[in-house]
Amino acid sequence: METLLAPIFDFLGCETPDEWLQEAVKKDNLPVVLLDHLVCELKAAQSAMYLIRKYAVDKESGDALLAWLKPFEDFTYRKVGDWRELANHQKLNKSMLPRSGTPYGQDLIDKMVLLIKEELHHFYQVLEIMDMFGIAYESIGSSRYARGMLREVRTYEPEALIDKLICGAFIEARSCERFAKLAPHVDKRLGDFYISLLRSEARHYQDYLTLAGDIAGEDISQRVQYFCRVEENLILSPDDDFKFHSGIPCN
Tally of domains in the chain: 1
> pTM to 2 decimals?
0.95
pLDDT tens per residue, range 146-191? 999 999 999 999 999 999 999 999 999 999 999 999 999 999 999 9
**Which CATH number is 37's domain given?**
1.20.1260.10
Alpha-carbon distance 95 to 177, whole Å? Answer: 33
Among residues 225, 231, 239, the alpha carbon closest in space to that of 149 is found at 231
- First vs last C-alpha separation in the chain: 33
Amino acid at 196: S
Distance of CA 236 to the CA centre of its chain: 19
- What is the extent of the structural domain holding 128? 2-249
pLDDT at 122: 96
Report pLDDT digits (tens) over 1-52: 888 899 999 999 999 999 999 999 999 999 999 999 999 999 999 999 999 9
- Cα–Cα distance, 106 to 102 (Å, whole number): 8
